[in-house]
Amino acid sequence: MPLSPDQQAEVDELRSAPTQTLRATVPGIEAHLYKAMDVLDHGFVRVIDYMGDDSAICQAARVSYGRGTKSVQNDEGLIRYLMRHWHSTPFEMCEIKLHVKLPVFVARQWIRHRTANVNEYSARYSILDREFYIPEPDALAAQSVVNNQGRGEALSGEEAERVLRYLRDDAMRSYDHYEEMISQDGQQGLARELARMNLPANIYTQWYWKVDLHNLFHFLRLRADAHAQYEIRVYADAICEVVKDWVPAAYKAFEDYRMGGANLSGTAITCIQRMLKGEKVTQENSGMSKGEWREFLAVLE
């Protein structure tokens, strides 16, 4: 179960006692507060707190850029202008704090985004639960032969069953030994901070993650992308649903200019200009490497 009984009791108590405030609130994200959105087999994402809304972005921009924004007549237009021209500071005026339960190997990817405040569950102080991420059979895939950090064809049949059996058996065996090492039943148990080293990377951990909207959009642009690893992408997808309800105008601009847009090099733009003039442009006369040309064609198509 993603939420423990104690956590669920805390959620129920917090949602049953709303408080008044003079600060800006957003009904869309208020509906998400404290609720856990299930992710993977034991994970979740839930909103603990937030600050700001679409209008806070515009307020900050008008203070920061002054008369330069007067030609933009409405907040949505201003937000799109800011996103289009990579003005990041106004988006930093909004913040969100999330409670995330995730496998350790996903956490190690996630923590690479060093632009947030993080407080993780301490396995030095507390005992980790016997919960492991075991993929669904259709999420098992062989190593890609063209991408060293990607997946290829899905495993099936006996091979998939063998992998799943190894994952389950090895995780359970490691946890059995972990429990045995920290046990104080008639003897002095090993320190928790040492016993944890034997746990597998698919065990679940939890943390509070607080980030501003600008850096959150950067995280989502990379991790909600179709090329991101599935196990972190599903968390990013869940967060996207929250952000969409929190700052709808900013999220719409983000979808358009970042998720749905593309960055082109000067060489790529020159190639497009040549194509528009009717010239036949190939990889050989484009000035691009084979990899660049392949990515360029993918954008055009």
Residue 223, C-beta contacts closer than 8 angstroms, at least 6 positions apart: 110, 232, 233, 235, 236
Q: Looking at 223, 233, 274, 294, which residue is catalytic?
A: 223
Annotated active-site residue 173? The verdict is: no
Report d(CA 263, CA 84) in Å as an integer. Answer: 12
Largest distance between two CA atoms of the chain:
84
Report d(CA 138, CA 17) in Å as an integer. Answer: 42
Q: What is the DSSP letter of 89?
A: G
Q: Are 34 and 48 in contact (CB under 8 A)?
A: yes
Question: How, if at all, do strands 151-154 and 43-51 pair?
Answer: unpaired
CB atoms within 10 A of CB 39: 22
Active centre residues (catalytic): 223
